[in-house]
Amino acid sequence: MPVFTGLRRCFSENMEYVLNYWIWLGVGIVLILLEFFLPGLVVIFLGLGALLTAAMLYARVLTDAYLTVVFFTVTSVFLLLTLRRIILFFYPAYSEKSETDEDLLIAGQLAETISLVSEHNFDGRVKYSGTTWPAKSAGGEIPAGIRVEILGRQNINLLVRRLES
């Protein structure tokens, strides 16, 4: 395994700062605080891995830069894969369920015709929600400038009817 030996020597010779537990402690605290701004329960486990690495360096259990990086990676991934699922089970993320069927949401809404709307084709146009839509009448022709109710949708075309006056 000469490749790993060379990689290990490169880590050990050029990365003495990796063995400084103050750096790991600072990085761990910053990552844990960063979880408040980047929610998702991921960054906090990287921070906990950094704190554990700082503790191992302080206790002089880790003395090699290569092993320090491996320890941080393994502990962070282990914490992420085990504790995240447990925490999310007891503290589920807040999610709001709302209606997403656009056909149900658009039905019953009011619009205004901006051109003649016939019952034969979708050549007429109505203004709804800040834009214009191709429309077809559910019964009889509807001249421009009349308020209509949207009954439904066929692809991007609206099916409308004249409001009773």
With a cut of 70, say whether residue 11 has pLDDT above it. Answer: no
Gyration radius of the chain's alpha carbons = 32
Model pLDDT, residue 41 = 84
Q: What residue ranges do the domains of the chain occupy?
A: 2-90, 102-162
52-78 pLDDT, tens digit each: 999 999 999 988 888 998 999 999 999
Residue type at 116 in one-letter notation: L
Q: Most distant CA pair in the chain: distance in Å? A: 88
> Mean of the pLDDT values across residues 136-141?
88
Reduced to 3 DSSP states, what percent helix, strand and coil does the chain have, rounded to the nearest 5? 45, 20, 35
Q: Which CATH architecture has domain 102-162?
A: Beta Barrel (2.40)
22-54 pLDDT, tens digit each: 999 999 999 999 988 887 888 999 999 999 999
What is the Cα–Cα distance from 107 to 153, expressed in whole angstroms? 8
Find the distance separating the first CA and the last CA of the chain, reported in whole Å: 87
Angstrom CA distances, 93 to 36, 37, 39, 85, 96, stand at 14, 15, 10, 12, 10
